[in-house]
Amino acid sequence: MTEPSPATLDPIALRELLDSGKNTRVVDVRTPGEFESLHIPGAYNVPLDLLREHRDEFLAHLDENIVLVCRSGQRATQAEETLRTAGLFNVHILDGGMMSWEAQGLAVNRGAERWDLERQVRLVAGSLVLSSVLGSIAAPKLKWLAAGIGGGLSFAALSNTCAMGMVLSKLPYNRGASCDPQTIVARLVDSKTASAGRS
């Protein structure tokens, strides 16, 4: 038996699915900081690192059709692989992520503006490379820091992972007050109970 391939939904198809009233859950796998800045109304924030670490706890509460969302689709694809490996096949990915959703002019909830994780990675990586190259004038061995960052970025592209992004996602700036597995699972359970009560 072959596993079904991951399905992508364009923003208009997702909007129609949500408007249809079918049992669909939008799970946003960005950091809480990114989620608080901008998200699809009704979406649940389950950061990618927490989803990986507490996959089994979340699986028990993700039996609807799931649509995974991130900024551009990369983290949603990683989340989809995590859930599919665990045996959950009713998973879709929002094609183009929040960038595509917003470009279509669809409704969003906005909060305090924060930099998305990819932008933070570019800032930190660029700053480290620039400062190590400039610093290598006085301390030549600093050029190896720039080489290490370049190698890390190349590895990140080849492996479709980002160690720097994972570290930055754990900073207080990117964490919300309620970014723990128990709180997130409680929200999933409460929403399931509320939708069962309406049917």
Domain extent listing, the chain: 7-114+178-198, 117-161
Q: What is the pTM of this model?
A: 0.72
Is 67's pLDDT higher than 60? yes
Mean pLDDT of the chain: 84
Q: Which pLDDT score, from 0 to 100, does residue 86 have?
A: 86
Q: Which residues, 6+ apart, have CB-to-CB distance to 82 below 8 Å? A: 51, 52, 55
For domain 7-114+178-198, is the CATH number 3.40.250.10? yes
For residue 182, give Cα distances in angstroms to 46, 66, 189, 190: 11, 20, 10, 12
Question: Please, where are the H alpha helices in 90-162?
Answer: 97-103, 117-135, 143-159
- Return the residue matching tokens 């699915």: 17
**Tens-place pLDDT, residues 20-41:** 988 889 999 998 888 988 999 9
Is 198's pLDDT higher than 60? no
**Tens-place pLDDT, residues 151-176:** 988 888 888 778 888 888 778 777 76
Helix (H) or strand (E) holding 39: strand 38-39
